[in-house]
Amino acid sequence: MLILVSLILVSCDNAQQLSWSAHELKLINSLVLPEPTNLATQISLYDPGNAVRADLNAAKLGHQLFFDPRLSGNGQVACASCHHPAKAFTDNQVLSQGIGITAMHTPSIIGVATSAWLFWDGRADSLWSQALGPLENPAEHGANRLQLAHLIFSHYQSEYQAIFGQLPGWLADPNVPKDAMPLLDANNATALDKQLAATWHNFPLHQQQQINQVFANIGKSIAAYERLLMPAQSRFDHFARELNRMQTSNLLTVQEQAGLKLFISDDSSQCLRCHNGPMLTNHDFQVTGIVNLGTSKNTGRIAGIELALQSPFNCRGIYSDTPHNCPELTFAKRNSAELKFAYKVPTLRNVAQTAPYMHNGSIGSLMAVLTYYNQAQPQLELGISPRNNLAHYDLEPLRLMPHQLKQLKAFLLTLSSPPAIENSWLQPPVFKINTNKTTIKTTINKTINKTINKTINGTVTKDRKALL
């Protein structure tokens, strides 16, 4: 009898087909990534102020710069040090190790060109200006803009000049200092920062602007490369297309389809409020009640938008190629309680590969994230509650059953896909190092791996000081 019941149950399970309403089908279609051939026309890619954002030569230069550890204070930190191609361009660390420890978790940059705002707090209004931030952050690359201008002059001169025109000739003068940058954070300036700033102020304004322009162009090249990192079609996208054509599809399991049904239901999960559109993010800033664990005083978007407006490298600045066409900056919301502790909604594409989660990396697993949203309790134990610091809070308890959380998780795992680009773009390039007038071809894989596996706080600070 028991066997018979089991057989009937199994039979029923296999025969189970989820039905989809017309409204659900429209919601599902709104999440589908356009085919690669239509991607550029059907999805908005941002990088205001970057005239070379779609220039292949700029992308090639950006590819080299992205993997080059010489863009750092100690010669060991590249963009790829934290944005590993093999890990969906994250590092799977809670916080990342550059020259020091970063204040925020490293997000994936697959599909990052679809976002109008960059960084967790949106303090950059373009991909190119975002790329500049880590380069001079003492905890990340720890480089300085004059050092980087010299690097371009010495190692990337022909590639650079083919895209951006002549480099300043005075960089060839051996008497020109090697390191200088303006003071970025007067409140936390070290002796080294002050020394670099003093050297910077010895340059006349026009030379400072020339250095800034080279610096900005480094960011624009890296942004042109990152723009290529659009996700390929995931299992979900294939399922949705087939469902659209045939009204049914087995490309996702029943469990995964049940998760999708929950995902698009505002009554059940509310996921779609923030994770909508083809990148499964609204690119907005929401308050999830996750606060920084004492590592940062970052108050989220409310501070981020002010930093974006003040940045000399924003869309309206003199280094922007379209300073009069900056709608996102113009219409940005400011001074709202809704922005306090609000952080950028990340994409859910490749979420299976990008643990740990949240802007501070404080939640280790996907199920733990779903459980957090299910309960929607802000981190009260840290003294943050709606009654004091959190004036606005975007979550409501979902009260989903455990099996529903598993279904949601099963669906989220169908969103994985690598960048839709030739593999050579995902590898460290073979590039030239000019040392003692000898050109050596090498790759930097070893350097990157070495850097990641190294605890470098003390030694690197020393290295950075050795710059002078």
Question: Which residues bind to other proteins, rule: CB under 8 A?
Answer: 23, 26-27, 29-30, 44, 266-267, 272-274, 276-277, 282-284, 327-328, 330-334, 336, 338, 376-378, 386-387, 392-397, 399
- State which residue, 21 or 158, has the beta carbon closest to other proteins: 21
- State which residue, 342 or 460, has the beta carbon closest to other proteins: 342
- State which residue, 148 or 287, has the beta carbon closest to other proteins: 287
- State which residue, 162 or 402, has the beta carbon closest to other proteins: 402
State in angstroms the smallest separation of the CB of 369 from other proteins: 17
CB neighbours of 283 closer than 8 A, spacing ≥ 6? 114, 115, 116, 117, 277, 344, 345
State in angstroms the smallest separation of the CB of 125 from other proteins: 13
The Cα 422–Cα 464 span in angstroms is 36
- State which residue, 66 or 393, has the beta carbon closest to other proteins: 393
Q: For the chain, what's the residue count? A: 468
- CA 457 to chain CA centroid, Å, is 23
State in angstroms the smallest separation of the CB of 397 from other proteins: 5
State in angstroms the smallest separation of the CB of 425 from other proteins: 27
The Cα 199–Cα 59 span in angstroms is 32
The Cα 418–Cα 233 span in angstroms is 8
State in angstroms the smallest separation of the CB of 315 from other proteins: 13
The Cα 61–Cα 432 span in angstroms is 12
State in angstroms the smallest separation of the CB of 310 from other proteins: 13
CB neighbours of 47 closer than 8 A, spacing ≥ 6? 53, 113, 126, 127, 128, 223, 227
State in angstroms the smallest separation of the CB of 32 from other proteins: 11
- State which residue, 309 or 352, has the beta carbon closest to other proteins: 309
- State which residue, 337 or 468, has the beta carbon closest to other proteins: 337
State in angstroms the smallest separation of the CB of 376 from other proteins: 5
Q: Are 226 and 112 in contact (CB under 8 A)?
A: yes
- Residue 69, classed as helix, strand or coil, is coil
State in angstroms the smallest separation of the CB of 414 from other proteins: 20
The Cα 144–Cα 155 span in angstroms is 16
**Other CB atoms within 10 Å distance of the CB of residue 192:** 18
**Other CB atoms within 10 Å distance of the CB of residue 151:** 18
CB neighbours of 290 closer than 8 A, spacing ≥ 6? 343, 358, 359, 360, 362, 363, 372, 378, 379
Q: Is residue 356 reached through a cis peptide bond, with omega within 30 degrees of 0 on the bond before it?
A: yes
The Cα 351–Cα 363 span in angstroms is 13
- State which residue, 185 or 266, has the beta carbon closest to other proteins: 266
State in angstroms the smallest separation of the CB of 273 from other proteins: 5
Decide the pairing of beta strands 438-442 and 431-435. Answer: antiparallel
- State which residue, 119 or 393, has the beta carbon closest to other proteins: 393
The Cα 310–Cα 319 span in angstroms is 14
State in angstroms the smallest separation of the CB of 150 from other proteins: 39
- Token pair belonging to 335: 């001074």
- State which residue, 67 or 236, has the beta carbon closest to other proteins: 236
State in angstroms the smallest separation of the CB of 327 from other proteins: 5
Residue type, 164: F
- State which residue, 23 or 206, has the beta carbon closest to other proteins: 23
Give the DSSP H or E segment for 439: strand 438-442
Q: Are 327 and 355 in contact (CB under 8 A)?
A: no
Measured CA distances, 123 to 50, 304, 324 (Å): 17, 4, 19
- State which residue, 155 or 283, has the beta carbon closest to other proteins: 283
Q: Are 277 and 31 in contact (CB under 8 A)?
A: yes
- Residue 317, classed as helix, strand or coil, is coil
